[in-house]
Amino acid sequence: MNIVIYILLAVGAVFNGLGALALIRFPDVYTRIHGATKCTTFGSIFSITAVVVHGFLRGGGEGGTLAVHALFALVFLLITNPTGSHALARGAYRGGIKPAQAVVDQLEKDRR
Partner 1 sequence: MRRLAVWAVTAMFALAVYLLLTLWSGAWGLWSLSELIAGVVMALIVGLVAGNLLWERGGWRMLMPHRWVLLLVFSAGPLLWAMARANVDVAWRVITGKIRPGIVRFDPALKTELARTILANAITLTPGTLTVDVHELSGAFYVHWINVTDERPTPEQVCGALPAWARRIAE
Partner 2 sequence: MSIELPFAVAAAVLAGFMLISVLRLGIGPTAADRAVALDTVNTLVVTTMVLLGAGLRQVVLVDVAIVYALLSFVSTLYIARFLEGGWR
For binding to partner 1 (CB under 8 A), which residues are involved? 15, 18, 21-22, 25-27, 30-31, 33-35, 37-39, 41-42, 45, 61, 64-65, 68-69, 72, 79, 82-83, 85-86, 89-90, 93, 99-108, 110
C-alpha–C-alpha distance, residues 33 and 82, integer Å: 10
Compute how many residues bind partner 2; rule: CB under 8 A: 51
38-41 contact pairs (CB < 8 A, 24+): 39/15, 40/15, 40/16, 40/81, 41/77, 41/78, 41/81, 41/82
Q: Supply the minimum distance, in Å, between the C-beta of residue 104 and partner 2.
A: 21
Candidate residues 1, 4, 38, 47; the one interacting with partner 2 per rule CB under 8 A: 47
